[in-house]
Amino acid sequence: MSRYRIDRLASTFGARISGIDLSRPLENSLSAAIVNDLLEHRVLVIRDQTLSHEDHIRVSRLFGEPEVHIQDQYTVPGFPQIVTISNIHRNGAPIGLYDGDNEQEWHTDLSFRPAMSAVSLLYSVIAPEEGGETRFADTTAAYDDLSAELRARVDGCEAVHSMVHLFERQAADNPAKVPLTEVQRAQVPDVVHPLVREHPQTGRQSLLLGDMIIRGIVGLDQAESAGLLDQLHEHVTSEEYVYSHRWAAGDLVIWDNRATMHTASPCDHTRHQRLLYRTTVM
Ligand code: SIN
């Protein structure tokens, strides 16, 4: 514990932890420090790690049980809870999620599930020299800073999150997008979540958004819903609430899905490879 050090990254959220080796079993005090620091800072960056898939699962369990991912064609053999994120193609097909050169889709992991995800852990194995950053937005500070008028408008609103809608929109931009199978579609019916939610551990309010997965706000017509969502998105993704993580191999970034959202950034797959592994705890 003596070498454990935490330094803040950006003005409203995010911190870097140094002085730990996550490939080794963690003392209870260290585990508790990581869990508490995530609650306080919402995004944690831990560099220079060498993690096996077993280590990744073990560290994920500090926060709960990692979820088995529905797109099983991208999970790691023997580790259905670890999903591959990559722009590498083999035999003409992507080996992972977020394979497009122009990836950009702000979201909270697994918001298409009825129960919301808690924490994600993304570990980098191959990092591009250019592009492919993951950008995080502080949906908690952004909610705190909403005008009283906007708060009154969004408090109590609910939005429809739809994986099917997301895939339709992505296919319109990228005809090469691999569609959901019929079985996968049947597993992800649309769900309704509040637009403003309270964190179960910190009690803080945050905005739950997603620029492509939300079909609309319940009770508003399409134009009104789109107008309000665009206004909120513009606010939450303004520079003061965003931390952009430039990846190096060996980075582990842990984020609280109940207090942030994130997006991949464009990366040219003809010039740069990107390979990461993600777990998500519900
Ligand atoms: C994710 O959304 O979990 C992955 C983000 C990324 O590929 O940068």
CA 141 to chain centre: 17
Pull the structure tokens for residue 10.
């950006």
Query: For the chain, which domains are there?
Result: 5-281 (3.60.130.10)
* DSSP three-state, residue 222: helix
Q: Of the residues 122, 123, 246, which should be mutated to test ligand 1's pocket, given the most ligand atoms within 8 Å of the CB? A: 122
Residues in the chain: 282
Pull the structure tokens for residue 230.
């665009």
As a whole number of angstroms, the distance between CA 37 and CA 9 comes to 13
Residue 15: what pLDDT? 98
Q: Using the mean position of ligand 1's atoms as its centre, give its distance from the Cα of residue 172 in Å.
A: 20
Contacts of 149 (CB under 8 A, 6+ apart): none
pTM: 0.95
Q: How far apart, in Å, are the Cα atoms of 123 and each of 53, 133, 223?
A: 10, 13, 39
Q: How far apart, in Å, are the Cα atoms of 152 and each of 163, 175, 199, 269?
A: 28, 40, 19, 44
User: What phi and psi, each to the nearest 5 degrees, are found at residue 81?
Assistant: -85, -10
Residue 203: what pLDDT? 98
Residue 1: what pLDDT? 61
Tell me if 264 CB under 6 Å of ligand 1.
yes
Residue 2: what pLDDT? 65
Pull the structure tokens for residue 213.
């997965």
Q: If you take atom 2 of ligand 1, which residue's CA is the nearest one?
A: 263
pLDDT(41) > 90:
yes
Tell me if 109 CB under 6 Å of ligand 1.
yes
Q: If you take atom 4 of ligand 1, which residue's CA is the nearest one?
A: 264
pLDDT 10s digits, 172-215: 887 877 788 989 899 999 999 999 999 999 999 999 999 999 99
pLDDT 10s digits, 75-110: 999 999 999 999 999 998 889 988 878 888 999 999
Q: If you take atom 8 of ligand 1, which residue's CA is the nearest one?
A: 264
Tell me if 113 CB under 6 Å of ligand 1.
no
Which whole number is the average pLDDT over 236-245?
97
